[in-house]
Amino acid sequence: MVRDYRPIQSPKLQKEMQRPGYSYQEYAPCEKLAPHVACYWTLDYHAEAERQLHRIIPDGCVDIIVDRLSPSGWKSAFVAGLMTQFEVLSLSGPQSLFGIRFYTESAQSFLKFPVSAFLGHHVFLEEIWGAEGLYFAEEILAALTVTAVIHTVEKKLQQLLHAEAASSHPLVRTSLQVMYASKGVLSTSDLADQLSFSERHVRRTFDRELGVSPKEMLGIIRFQSMLQELYSSAVPSFTDMALKYGYYDQSHFIKSFKRYYGMLPKQIWTRQGDDRSRKKQDVRFFLF
């Protein structure tokens, strides 16, 4: 399955905020797992005198996270469900995390339960996979390099994919494909029309399977799609981008951006002022 949706996290956008001793990296999955896994990621922090802020923004994905500094596999791995607003962590001690970022429509194939089961709280992996979860976490803790961790992870994920004990609801899968294709620029009524279901039926299915509404997922996918385009653009114009993604006035755009990111757009991009090309930006950029 070809998917243009590639969620982005704030450390890639705000590299200037990274202090010495802090590192966030992303790694691509193998070809077989690419339709299901957005990326693998690592977060490492070696405590310094100052605290490091780590911002997490909604990306429409579900993660398995392993604390590689845990003394044992017991409660070292957990599932983090869908986020609907930003969160900022203040790192004050050493951290070494490894994450598997699943696309929402694929998560149930690996986690056995609907995504709604993980909304708003963390669930330890051994509570989901039993002894297999504990053994999996211990294998990751024993790996000495990120390459070795990824090898262990992909072996396990391909086994689970082959077994395919559970999968997401077909209406959810089809809905998300439509959302990705439209980059989230779609009303819930138009979505329901394309699916040939009532808007109420689509909403109830999303609430049951994902724990969030179709409108919420559309908002996250639209926001992430716009962020990815802004990130890829040498000279972004927020005015043009906001209109392209259906934000019809400045207040609507800013409200949505602050909800999902927690900052104003100009606080992110103007901090990258060392790039001279940004001085040539459309003056309308600074209205935001």
Q: What is the CATH number of the domain that holds 264?
A: 1.10.10.60
Q: What is the pLDDT of residue 277?
A: 40
Task: Please tell me which of 10-24, 25-39, 268-282 the model is most confident about, judged by mean pLDDT.
Answer: 25-39
Contact 132/160 with Cβ under 8 angstroms?
A: no
Of 132, 163, 194, the position where a domain reaches its end is 163
- Average pLDDT value for residue range 36-57: 88
Q: What is the pLDDT of residue 28?
A: 97
- Is residue 6 a part of any domain in this protein? no
The identity of residue 185, as a single letter, is: V
Q: What is the pLDDT of residue 251?
A: 83
pTM greater than the 0.95 cutoff: no
Q: What is the pLDDT of residue 46?
A: 87
Q: What is the pLDDT of residue 286?
A: 31
- Is residue 78 a part of any domain in this protein? yes
- Is residue 229 a part of any domain in this protein? yes
Q: What is the pLDDT of residue 21?
A: 86
Report the candidate in 141, 150, 156 with the shortest Cα–Cα distance to residue 110: 156
Mean pLDDT of the chain, nearest integer: 88
Q: Which residue has the higher pLDDT, 243 or 81?
A: 81
**Same domain assignment for residues 223 and 84:** no
- Is residue 140 a part of any domain in this protein? yes
Of 126, 141, 163, the position where a domain reaches its end is 163
Contact 29/61 with Cβ under 8 angstroms?
A: no
Q: What is the pLDDT of residue 13?
A: 86
The total domain count for the chain is 2
**Same domain assignment for residues 30 and 155:** yes
Instruction: Note the pLDDT tens digit of each residue in 87-106.
Output: 999 888 899 999 999 999 99
Q: What is the pLDDT of residue 114?
A: 94
**Same domain assignment for residues 102 and 192:** no
The identity of residue 285, as a single letter, is: F
- Is residue 279 a part of any domain in this protein? no
Helices 170-182 and 214-232: angle between axes, nearest 10 degrees: 40
Q: Which residue has the higher pLDDT, 70 or 15?
A: 70
- Average pLDDT value for residue range 131-136: 96
Q: What confidence category does residue 51 fall into, taking pLDDT thresholds of 50, 70 and 90?
A: confident
Of 143, 163, 183, the position where a domain reaches its end is 163
The torsion region of residue 103 among left (phi > 0), alpha (psi -120 to 50) and beta comes to: beta
Instruction: Note the pLDDT tens digit of each residue in 140-174.
Output: 999 999 999 999 999 999 999 887 666 789 999 99
**Same domain assignment for residues 61 and 22:** yes
**Same domain assignment for residues 143 and 174:** no
- Is residue 277 a part of any domain in this protein? no
3-class secondary structure, 143:
coil
**Same domain assignment for residues 240 and 143:** no
Residue 147 sits in which domain range?
11-163
**Same domain assignment for residues 98 and 135:** yes
- Average pLDDT value for residue range 103-117: 94
- Is residue 205 a part of any domain in this protein? yes
**Same domain assignment for residues 72 and 109:** yes
**Same domain assignment for residues 24 and 155:** yes
**Same domain assignment for residues 257 and 136:** no
Q: What confidence category does residue 49 fall into, taking pLDDT thresholds of 50, 70 and 90?
A: low
Long-range interactions of 276-279: CB distance < 8 A, separation 24+? 277/234, 277/235, 278/235
- Is residue 286 a part of any domain in this protein? no
Token pair listed for 71: 């003394």
**Same domain assignment for residues 208 and 142:** no
**Same domain assignment for residues 243 and 114:** no
Instruction: Note the pLDDT tens digit of each residue in 175-223.
Output: 999 999 999 999 999 999 999 999 999 999 999 999 999 999 999 999 9
Q: What is the pLDDT of residue 284?
A: 36
The torsion region of residue 184 among left (phi > 0), alpha (psi -120 to 50) and beta comes to: left
